[in-house]
Amino acid sequence: KHMIRFEEVGFRYGNGPEVLRDVDLDLAPGSFHWLTGASGAGKSTLLKLLHLADHPTRGRVEAFGEDLSELKRRHLPKLRRQIGMVFQDFRLLDHLTVFDNVALPLRLARVRDSSLRKDVGEMLDWVGLADVAGADPRTLSGGQQQRVAIARAVVARPLLLLADEPTGSVDEATGTRILRLFQELHRLGTTVLVATHNELLIERFPHPVLRLEDGQLGLVRA
Ligand code: ADP
Ligand code: ADP
């Protein structure tokens, strides 16, 4: 069964030009891909569609065996909970503590309190933020906020993990550590797609590389 499949997908903002054109993509379960492309090439837009946060303006999107255009609106949240997303701008909730930001996906999935506390605690330990669990995310550095965003994206063990430049605000050692976490999740069965400009990480972790150019997607390293 396919995880997510795009067929001749096109996307435009309003009446603007098509920023994605004829995108065919089949994310097989258990795959790990890099996504590259110049700034403005459409990486964030592609991730937004993969996150099922918007509909294509052309073509077909199939997610977990369901055709997105035929899916009832009330069924969408359940599908989207299978997808963890690390946003480039983090999108942490300011009125919640670090702990509660990370706990959010578990609360939405109605995970019991005892196991929620354990999972969030372990996750915060892993990303090295246990000592700021009660903090307001706005008081943290960019790198710390990025690690909160990563913890939130992976805490509920999503089937699919999407990350938009997840190492953009951290040093090289932390970036490598984040990639090791992604590798570990991948080993446990999570399908992973990471958009990045970080050539060093792409070299170090030799997964297939997808590249967006002029809104079109190609495979540059198998
Ligand atoms: P990137 O580093 O991925 O190129 P951008 O700076 O282009 O990021 O985009 C940051 C945010 O601004 C995104 O949420 C994107 O959707 C939005 N954005 C980018 N370009 C435009 C635009 N021309 N009009 C409105 N919003 C935009
Ligand atoms: P990337 O992530 O590769 O930098 P984006 O997907 O952010 O690329 O942007 C692709 C194109 O779409 C750019 O030309 C950008 O300006 C435009 N764009 C992105 N978000 C918006 C938006 N909300 N409204 C209008 N144009 C946008």
Q: What is the pLDDT of residues 112-167, one digit of tens each?
A: 999 999 999 999 999 999 999 999 999 999 999 999 999 999 999 999 999 999 99
Nearest atom within ligand 2 for CA of residue 46: 6
To the question of pTM greater than 0.80 for the whole model, the response is: yes
pLDDT, one tens digit per residue, over 183-204 is: 999 999 999 999 999 999 999 9
pLDDT score at 1: 66
| Residue 39, ligand 2, Cβ within 6 A | yes
The closest ligand to the CA of 87 turns out to be: 1
Q: Measuring CA to CA, how many Å separate 153 from each of 16, 39, 101, 102, 178?
A: 31, 23, 10, 8, 12
pLDDT score at 222: 80
The residue assigned the tokens 């997510």 is 4
pLDDT score at 81: 93
Nearest atom within ligand 1 for CA of residue 16: 23
134 burial type by CB count under 10 A (0-12 exposed, 13-18 middle, 19+ buried): exposed
* Whole-number Å distance between alpha carbons of 28 and 192: 10
pLDDT, one tens digit per residue, over 111-127 is: 999 999 999 999 999 99
> Ligand 1 centroid to 40 CA: how many Å?
8
| Residue 19, ligand 2, Cβ within 6 A | yes
